[in-house]
Amino acid sequence: QVKVWPKGLGHARNLVGIYRLCLTDKTVNFVKLNSDVAAVVLQLMNVRRCGHSENFFFIEVGRSAITGPGEFWMQVDDSVVAQNMHETLLEAMKALSE
């Protein structure tokens, strides 16, 4: 569970709020709480980079992404969760390129 902040694409695409972040082998899906349908589906191949800072995790996508270029900033429970999300997404991106 993440809280998308009103910064970058979260603000520009009106996606501020609480979401479940679901990772597949090819996509990252933002699913609003109390919904089964993804509000945004990002292709992993469109993710330029990702990272974390304290209890925030971010994903930067390029212009081929459905949202257009920019960053999603998400607040999570603590810095350990942010780091784990960063490492998990990096592993998925590496697996896609192999």
Tokens standing for residue 42: 């990002």
pLDDT at 98: 83
Mean local confidence (pLDDT), 23-46: 96
pLDDT at 54 over 90: yes
Distances (CA, A) of 12 to 23, 34, 44, 81, 87: 23, 23, 20, 26, 26
Residue 76 has pLDDT above 90, yes or no: yes
**Cα angle, residue 28 at apex, residues 27 and 32 outer, rounded to 5°:** 135
CA distance 85 to 75: 11
Every domain of the chain and the residues it spans: 2-97
Distances (CA, A) of 60 to 17, 52, 74: 18, 11, 12
Q: How confident is the model at residue 97 (pLDDT cuts 50, 70, 90)?
A: confident
CATH number assigned to the domain with residue range 2-97, chosen from the 4 options 3.40.50.300, 3.90.1640.10, 3.30.70.980, 2.30.29.30? 2.30.29.30
Rounded average pLDDT over 59-83:
98
Q: Given a cut of 90, is residue 82 above it in pLDDT?
A: yes
How do 27-32 and 38-43 pair as beta strands?
antiparallel
